[in-house]
Amino acid sequence: MRGIDANLLELKNFSKLSRKEITHTGPQLVSKYQSLLQIGSDQLKLKGAEKISDTWYVSYWQTFQGVILYESSLGFSVDSHGRIKSLGALIYPKVQAPVTSKISHEKALKIGQGQIKDFKKLKCRLVAESILIYPVRKTNSVDYYRVYAFNFFPEEALHPATTEGGWAVFVDSQTGKVVLFEILMKPLGCCVPEDWVPPKPEGMKPKW
């Protein structure tokens, strides 16, 4: 989305704003353009905010009942004059998803571990986990799954110089069905807070 004859938003006293105040800009934008974006300003969770030279780059996840939507995004830059000229977004209006889980975390974790051949032999670790809303686009609709999202990595994959990868396993919290299983190249976490740091191998403990 881009302003044609004007900026989408211009921040007053921009040079005096703190990082925290900068990150409040996303909800302001969503509130201003709610009729177009069709989500509420309370549906954003900060993904990251970084200043490079004189420009801020700010991004958010979309949430539903406080739960992050997988691969959702809303991002923009604020130039040195406090102007926001455009924003990019992958968002989902009118989300309809379960708000509670029927499958326990313990059961879902065992299901997730069971997807990986030689899980114990590889000394796999649960490196990151989240409860997420996983949208699956169809031709004329979107299916929304409330999932337990697990990132598993073999112990040797946690060393900085390794070329080994891991796995993401999404388990439907309503049925226990695996709705996503994919290879991960690096232990970056799955929709975890922006200040999350991957654990060191020696600090890890088996989760089985």
Half-sphere exposure of 134 (CA within 13 A, CB side): 21
Per-residue pLDDT tens digits of the chain, which is 208 residues long: 665 457 899 998 888 889 999 999 999 999 999 999 999 999 999 999 999 998 999 999 999 999 999 999 999 999 999 999 999 999 999 999 999 999 999 999 999 999 999 999 989 989 889 999 999 999 999 999 999 999 998 887 766 656 668 899 999 999 999 999 998 876 555 655 555 455 554 444 444 3
Q: What is the C-alpha to C-alpha distance for residues 68 and 43, in angstroms, rounded to an integer? A: 9
Note whether 201 and 127 are within 8 A (CB).
no
Q: How buried is residue 178: exposed, middle or buried, by Cβ count under 10 Å (0-12/13-18/19+)?
A: middle
The pLDDT score that the predictor gives to residue 13 is: 87
Domains of the chain by start residue, with CATH: 9-90 (3.10.450), 105-203 (no CATH)
Measured over all CA atoms, what is the biggest interatomic distance in the chain, rounded to whole angstroms? 61
Task: Report the SS3 class of residue 43.
Answer: helix
The pLDDT score that the predictor gives to residue 16 is: 86
Would you state the structure tokens that stand for residue 10, as one six-digit string? 């211009």
- Full-prediction pTM beyond 0.95? no
The pLDDT score that the predictor gives to residue 205 is: 44
Q: Which amino acid belongs to residue 31?
A: S
Task: Report the SS3 class of residue 8.
Answer: coil
